[in-house]
Structures are given as structure tokens and as C-alpha cells.
Chains A and B, each alone.
Chain A
Amino acid sequence: MSVIETNATVAAESLFRRNMAAFMENRLAFGSAIVVVLFVFMAIFAPWIAPNDPYNTNLFFRLQPPVWMDGGEWAYPLGADALGRCILSRIIYGARVSIFIGAAVILVATTVGILAGLAAGYLRGWVDVVISRLVDILLGFPYLIFAIGLMAMMGPGLGNIILALAYKEWVIPCRVVRGETLVTRELEYVEAARALGASSKHIMLREILPNILSPVIVVATIRMAHVIILEASLSFLGLGVQPPTASWGAMVADGRAFILESWWVSTFPGVAILLLVLAINVASQGLRDAFDPRFTE
């Protein structure tokens, strides 16, 4: 008895905490994560942060340059657009659209992808054939063209953008989950659960899912940056969120006509897209290195 008692009390540090520590040590990734968090705060507290009403047009300030240029003033720090609206305020409000759509699409797509991937990977048979062929077919379409087609069919609107993007986005978590499930289903504890009479549903959701969650989370964060770019692309093309709602993609499009004389109208929202996407990418790669060592080179 004593043998067992002595070596049992080895308290182990939680895996999550260890991974989190590894992530924090990666300065670049941690800094990027902070940038992402700042963007999120900006989106949430937009009404308190924005210096002006983003929808208030004032033709006296039409195409006013940013504050550090001739003719600029502090009332409009990053200048104004063709309708005299404050660009900084519109960027701050635009973060809401980008982040909300990005998060909503990833949430929907990951949920669907997890369920489909688990079913395909665990149940196999015809379920796997149907889901996997569907995934292959969807992967065969160019993403943006597919989304443009769907938006043209369904018409613009927030819900429709989320649907149009999630429609294809789910295949990515689905493939990750299916692959991980194929490996995990053969493990001893899954077999043990089967031997003790667990149902397929229980095995998929309780035994397999918690064990494959970390690659799924990593993929979800990486894909979030993609989705934000796609939303900006749709808005740029006029198929996204409809004016006057501030959206970074639409703002870039608005400034196109004046790009030579009033470059700030398009450039600042473009910089916002660049910053957020870059920060998400770097942070998610740091997460991946810390949480899913298999993918690390």
C-alpha cells in the first residue's frame, strides 16, 4: 500500500497554465495579443472613445486632411471623408463590424465544423462519405467568389454576411476535427468508454471533444483574421454591410475616387485592417506554438 501512496501525491501543474506561460514568454505574440484586445475594447466602448458622431455629415469639413497636415485640426484627428464625417470615429465604429462579424462567423463555423467533423471522424461509414465529399466540393470553390455569389443571391445585411462566410468557413474546423477524431477514436480511453456502455454521442462530446479542443481553438483564431479580410473585401465590393454603417472595407472603397489628392480617406481604414489582421495572425501563431507543439517547426 505504501508504494502506491507515496508516488501518487505528485501534484502536476496544469497543462493550460504551462502553455499560457509559454505564450506570455513569446513577447511578439503577447504584444500582438494586447493589440487585439485593444481593438476589441475599442469596438465595445466605441461611443465613449470616438471623438465625433461617425454618421454626422458636415460638408464644411469635406475631405479635411489629418491634424498634422496643413488645414487639419484636432476636431478631426485623422481628417474627414467626402461627406465630412470623422474618419477616426468611423474607424472606431468600423471595428465593431469587423470584430463582430469575424467572431460570429468563426463561432458558427467552428460549432458546425466540430459537430460535422466529430460525426465524420467517429461514426465513419456513409456519414463520413457524405460530409467529406461536401467538404471537398466546398473547398473546390474560390472562397470570395462563392461569398459574392451568395451575397448577390441573399441580398446585403449583417446576418447574410455571417451566413455567406460561415457557409464555407466550417469546412476548415471540420477537417481539423475529423483528422483529430480519427486519431483519438482509436485511443484506449475511447475503447474503454465503449466497453463500459457509453453512447456514441457521449463518446464524441465528452471523451473526444475535450481532447482535441486545443488545435481547434488555434485554427479558429488563425481563421478569424481571414474572415475579417473577407468581410472587408465584401464591404469593399459593396456587398457587405450597407452604408451609412461604418465598415473598414467600405471606407477604403469610398476613398478610391480621391486617392491622389485625399489619400487619408482610404489609407487609414486600410491601416486599421492591416493592424488588426497582422496582430491576430502573430498572436494566433504564438498560441499555436504554445498550445499545439506538433505544428511547430
Chain B
Amino acid sequence: MKDPILLDVRGLRTVFDTRAGRVCAVDGVDVIVQRGECLGIVGESGSGKSVTFASVMGLVRPPGRVEAGEIIFDGVNLRQLPPRQMQALRGRDIAMTMQDALTALNPTLTIGEQLAEMLAAHADDLPRSRSDRRRVIRARSVDMLTLVGIPSAGDRLGQYPHEFSGGMRQRIMIAIALASKPRLLIADEPTTALDVTIQAQVLELISNLRAEFGMSVVLITHDLGVVAEHCDRVMVMYAGQVVEEGPTERVISDPRHPYTRGLLASVLRPGLRGQPIRPIRGQVPELIDLLPQCRFMDRCPEADEDCRHLIDMRPVGPGRRARCIRTALPTTEKAKA
């Protein structure tokens, strides 16, 4: 029996040395991704979502660096992997799609060339002879494009990215990322640049492909609605830390961290017509020289002097953890805050 845990990140710390000081973009983050599950990562801009997974993939570049932590992928510690093997693993075992589909494809290469390069780089079952290779790669490219719902795929291989709409480009990116059948797909805000109907289609597509390939998906987003619909588990990040994690349904119906509650309250929902949406006051703190206290303190409606110390994640239910000293409060009382 295989280990049910595919990705196990412990105590990840990624820092950026800037002129203003050391920015700790990811500070002690633990992530566990099970085989075949979809994990949602939620948080506002600058909360460290993207940097966490850039660190996992070894894509953090100077002035940033991964300072501490273990990244175990399928039993292999990625932090100790030599750069060449890490490069081979990227794309083949873990693939990542970028935030902005409109700029994530190379404008000077055709879709066919970009797909073919990905297939040629990572597939090891291609025939030897050149013409056979080309034929197989072409057939697979057509398969992949058809899979992500590009009509008349064969004719479109010779087209350049600017000849496709935004939604199609996002699908093509997914097709390229999935070309090597990775075991883990990290989708970094796959829908931010798209309009609502196409968002739904792209997410549906990712869900279907997950089932088909049996891969795990990490969905990075700031849209709780997307998480609610597509993710088995959710991790809420704030200021470089995980503040709450657990099964999606439970976290959304009964959030235990004031930040999660704030996020939920600021989402527009049908049936709440006439009620004002409540934004969270203030901004994410600068991640330089943070005081040893709860990072959400300045924006938290429930904070008091007791919060002025470092707070660890604590269990708040089966499979659930939160980083707040008030997690024991009954939900009714929290609601009025």
C-alpha cells in the first residue's frame, strides 16, 4: 500500500532579503496533500500562498531563498535534490499553472510547438524514429487539447497564443501542464483572469481531469466560493502563516479563526440581499520585523492583551487546526463580533 500522503511540507520558511530588511514571506508553514485530493489554499494577496508553492517547486530565486523546512514529495526530500533532478521532476511529477493565462504562453511559438516540447521533454515512451516520434507527439497533442475542450484541435496546433481567447489559453496551459500526467498539479489562481462562466468551466475541467488521472490538485485562490465547490480540504493563509485548516465543509460552516470568518463575511452571497458586505478592516501587515504576537491582532475584532504572544496552531476538531486562542468560543457568540 502506498503512503496516502503525496506531499508533506513541514516548517517551511522562505525569506527575501530586501534593502528594507528581511521579509519572511512564508513562516513555518506545514502542508499535507493526500493522494487524489484537492486542497484549496485561500488568503489575500501577500499572504504567502504562491510563495509557499514556488518554494515547493524550487522556483524561488534570489533575493528569496528557502531558509528552513522539509519538503517531502512521495518520499523524496526535495530540498536535498540536486538542481538537475529537481528540474526533471518539475513538469514531470509536479506541474504548476501560472496566475495569468494571458501572458503565460510564449507569444512567438505555436500552441503545437509548446505542447510538443513539453511532451518530448517528459515522456519516455516515445518511439525512436523521428517521423514516428513526430506522429505520436502530434496525436497526443491533439488528444490533450481535445481533453481540455478545444474544438477542432488538430487545426489549431499551428496557431499562436494570440489567436485564442483567454479561457482557451487557460485551458491550453492546463493541457500543457497535464501533458506529462503529473501526480500533483498546482493551479495558481487558474481563474483570476477569466470571466465567471469560463471560470466555472475551467474549474470543472480541473476537477474532471483530477478524477481521470488520479492526481492531486492544489488550488490557490482568493475565492472562497471556488474552494467550497471544488476542494476536499482548505488551508487559510494569513501573513505568511497558516491560520486555519480542515475539511472544506466544516471550515466554511463553522470557521474558528476570526480571519476566516472575516473572509466569509466579505463574500457576496445570494439570499443575503440588503445586508451590507463586511470587509475586513486594515491591511496585511508588512512582513518585516514582526512582533511576537498574533499577526491578525491589529485587524481582529476580538483581539485583546491575551493575544500579545506567539500563537501556535491548535486542534479545533477532527482534522482541523486553527491559530487563535479563542477557538473554544461558541459560534453564536462569535457571530456578533
Name B87's closest neighbour in chain A (CB-CB): A197
Cβ-neighbour of A5 out of B103, B151, B197 (below 8 A): B151
User: CB of B165 within 8 A of chain A?
Assistant: yes
Cβ-neighbour of A196 out of B100, B176, B198 (below 8 A): B176
Cβ-neighbour of A188 out of B99, B117, B121 (below 8 A): B99
Interface residue ranges of A126-142 to B (CB < 8 Å): none
Q: Which DSSP category, helix, strand, loop or mixed, fits chain A's interface? A: helix
Contact call B162/A12, Cβ cutoff below 8 A: yes
Name A212's closest neighbour in chain B (CB-CB): B108
User: CB of A145 within 8 A of chain B?
Assistant: no
User: CB of B118 within 8 A of chain A?
Assistant: yes
User: CB of B90 within 8 A of chain A?
Assistant: yes
Chain A interface residue bracket vs B: 20 to 34
- With contacts A8-B165, A192-B98 taken as known, whether A197 is within 8 angstroms of B103 at the C-beta atoms is no
- With contacts A192-B98, A194-B90 taken as known, whether A207 is within 8 angstroms of B201 at the C-beta atoms is no
Cβ-neighbour of B96 out of A12, A187, A196 (below 8 A): A196
Name B156's closest neighbour in chain A (CB-CB): A8
Contact call A192/B104, Cβ cutoff below 8 A: yes
- Bound CA span A5–B171, Å: 13
User: CB of A1 within 8 A of chain B?
Assistant: yes
Contact call A8/B164, Cβ cutoff below 8 A: yes
User: CB of B45 within 8 A of chain A?
Assistant: no
Contact call B117/A10, Cβ cutoff below 8 A: no
- Bound CA span A18–B104, Å: 24
Interface residue ranges of B123-177 to A (CB < 8 Å): 149, 151, 160, 162-165, 167-168, 173, 176-177
Interface residue ranges of A184-236 to B (CB < 8 Å): 187-189, 191-199, 202, 206-207, 210-211
Interface residue ranges of A25-44 to B (CB < 8 Å): none
Cβ-neighbour of A194 out of B59, B162, B165, B176 (below 8 A): B59
Contact call A188/B104, Cβ cutoff below 8 A: yes
Contact call A4/B90, Cβ cutoff below 8 A: no
Contact call A197/B88, Cβ cutoff below 8 A: yes
Name A124's closest neighbour in chain B (CB-CB): B62
Contact call B107/A196, Cβ cutoff below 8 A: no
- With contacts A4-B168, A202-B117 taken as known, whether A192 is within 8 angstroms of B90 at the C-beta atoms is no
User: CB of B216 within 8 A of chain A?
Assistant: no
User: CB of B89 within 8 A of chain A?
Assistant: yes
Interface residue ranges of A143-196 to B (CB < 8 Å): 187-189, 191-196
- Bound CA span A196–B186, Å: 11
Contact call B173/A4, Cβ cutoff below 8 A: no
- Bound CA span A12–B162, Å: 8
Contact call A4/B165, Cβ cutoff below 8 A: yes
- Bound CA span A155–B9, Å: 65
User: CB of A69 within 8 A of chain B?
Assistant: no
Contact call A197/B168, Cβ cutoff below 8 A: no
Chain A residues within 8 Å of B97, by CB? 192, 195
20 inter-chain pairs at a CB distance below 8 angstroms, sorted by A residue, are A3-B197, A4-B198, A5-B151, A7-B165, A8-B163, A8-B168, A10-B163, A12-B163, A188-B98, A191-B59, A192-B104, A194-B90, A195-B95, A196-B96, A197-B87, A197-B92, A198-B117, A202-B121, A210-B109, A211-B107
Which residues of A are in contact with B by a Cβ distance under 8 Å? 1, 3-5, 7-8, 10-12, 124, 187-189, 191-199, 202, 206-207, 210-211
Which residues of B are in contact with A by a Cβ distance under 8 Å? 57, 59, 62, 87-92, 95-100, 103-109, 117-118, 121-122, 149, 151, 160, 162-165, 167-168, 173, 176-177, 197-198, 201
